[in-house]
Structure 1
């Protein structure tokens, strides 16, 4: 009985120690203290911790805290992504897209970005939208592109605002031109997004007074991260 109690205490001690090491390592990583982060996280990555593997993979990729090693960057990122770690799924898609540490494979890139998008990673949704716009790794499909841009914007990613606004402003195969929706989309852009502001002005000049009044009314109730209306009428 005493032996069992001692073993339980040892197990708890090891678990608490590993948890503390993970927290310290991730805190150091966030603070860009990469040498400390690598020392703390490497053993945990080798033991299979997904968060540690993701961070270690990035450090190998950047050459910070460790010598740059594309192969180890890929293997750590892949191990983390296979465990369902969303940030690693985003990064793994990027590695496949760029061919960094692995043979370039745009189909795999899309597959991993979709997994990350399904977990709510807005940058992954943005990347998929681009792929559908250009027909890279997937058949060209502007309706899908619009859907993923909207998903990214509703998750708070300002980078998707300009692209979606332009698609609505000009129209695309399968996506009718919609100046009112374009105006609304451009309106949720960051105040520092001069490109979106400029294009909103162009769209505004092409709208009727009644269209502009209605679009402004809808836009006034929205901000980046708000659900976008399906249409404005």
Structure 2
């Protein structure tokens, strides 16, 4: 759900002057950016207790990056007792305050992550809290992150919701549309879904070569545990013609080479 490890590295040195922040003496005049930097430095050094204290201070002051990182720690039980509802509250604060942030800004990736997390909480619900399963709301949230921020994870999850008819009518055309956007950004689950829809022609014109290409690319990148991707690809290979197989494999190789050239 999160892209946390890489994201923290991006913000190394974000605020500057981390040494000036004293976790034992901060007050209302302390800059949230100082607390954020101290918190991230503490986290990287393994001092998660100090990290939580400093990040909580910055989060309470409305610092979006601190809210995001603290929410992630609550969601994963990372250095603190796991608490999905607390994570939900932090991500909600971010979404409410930064929904209109300009995409492409350094902070927008964190805001987008918060929306994806909220979509997941509404999709599944949080037991013993007021956050109940609401698939319609989940689809709306994924749709916002997918369209406004262009988030590939949101695009992939939205594609699957359209494909499965979750939160609204089933729509294979919309599923293929959103899956393609995410697939071309490297999302493996979206590649598999798009490949399956195109190969089978589910609600869209059948394109077996392109479908098998995406399925092959997905299988090459999928983890060993993603047996469903392997099964879809093997089934497609078994029913494709020899010419379709050869052409799809060549296209898959070209696709991989192009991504290498692009540094992905």
Q: By the TM > 0.5 criterion, same fold?
A: yes
Q: Does 1:44 find its partner at 2:73? A: no
**CA displacement, residues 138-172 of structure 1 (integer Å, 9 cap, x when unaligned):** 21101111111111111221222222222222221
1:89 and 1:225 mapped to 2: Cα distance? 30
TM-score, scaled to structure 1: 0.76
Task: Give 1:16 shift.
Answer: 9.1
Q: Does 1:122 find its partner at 2:152? A: yes
User: Which residue of the partner structure matches residue 6 of structure 1?
Assistant: none
The answer to whether the 8 A contact 1:132-1:145 is kept is yes
Alignment of 1:178-197 (within 5 A): 178-189=207-218, 191=220, 193=222, 195=227, 196=229
What SS class does the counterpart of residue 161 from structure 1 fall into?
Answer: helix
Task: Give 1:28 shift.
Answer: 4.8
Task: Give 1:78 shift.
Answer: 0.1
User: Which residue of the partner structure matches residue 78 of structure 1?
Assistant: 92
Q: Does 1:139 find its partner at 2:172? A: no
User: Which residue of the partner structure matches residue 110 of structure 1?
Assistant: 139
What SS class does the counterpart of residue 221 from structure 1 fall into?
Answer: helix
Of residues 158-167 and 57-66 in structure 1, the stretch that sits farther from structure 2 once superposed is 57-66
What SS class does the counterpart of residue 220 from structure 1 fall into?
Answer: helix
Change (3 A) 1:139 1:202: closer
User: Which residue of the partner structure matches residue 96 of structure 1?
Assistant: 122
Match of 1:177 among 197, 206, 210: 206
Task: Give 1:75 shift.
Answer: 1.6
1:26 and 1:51 mapped to 2: Cα distance? 10
**Larger RCO, structures 1/2 (Cα 8 Å, 6+ apart):** 1
Bigger radius of gyration, 1 or 2? 1
1:198 and 1:123 mapped to 2: Cα distance? 22
Aligned length: 213
The answer to whether the 8 A contact 2:33-2:58 is kept is no
TM-score, scaled to structure 2: 0.68
2:83 and 2:238 mapped to 1: Cα distance? 52
**CA displacement, residues 36-74 of structure 1 (integer Å, 9 cap, x when unaligned):** 321121011101111211222233334433344444322
Which ranges of structure 1 fall in alignment gaps of 5 or more residues? 1-12, 227-233
1:201 and 1:64 mapped to 2: Cα distance? 38
The answer to whether the 8 A contact 2:183-2:194 is kept is no
Of residues 208-217 and 126-135 in structure 1, the stretch that sits farther from structure 2 once superposed is 208-217
Change (3 A) 1:44 1:109: same
Aligned residues: CA RMSD: 3.0
The answer to whether the 8 A contact 1:36-1:65 is kept is no
Match of 1:59 among 70, 73, 81: 73
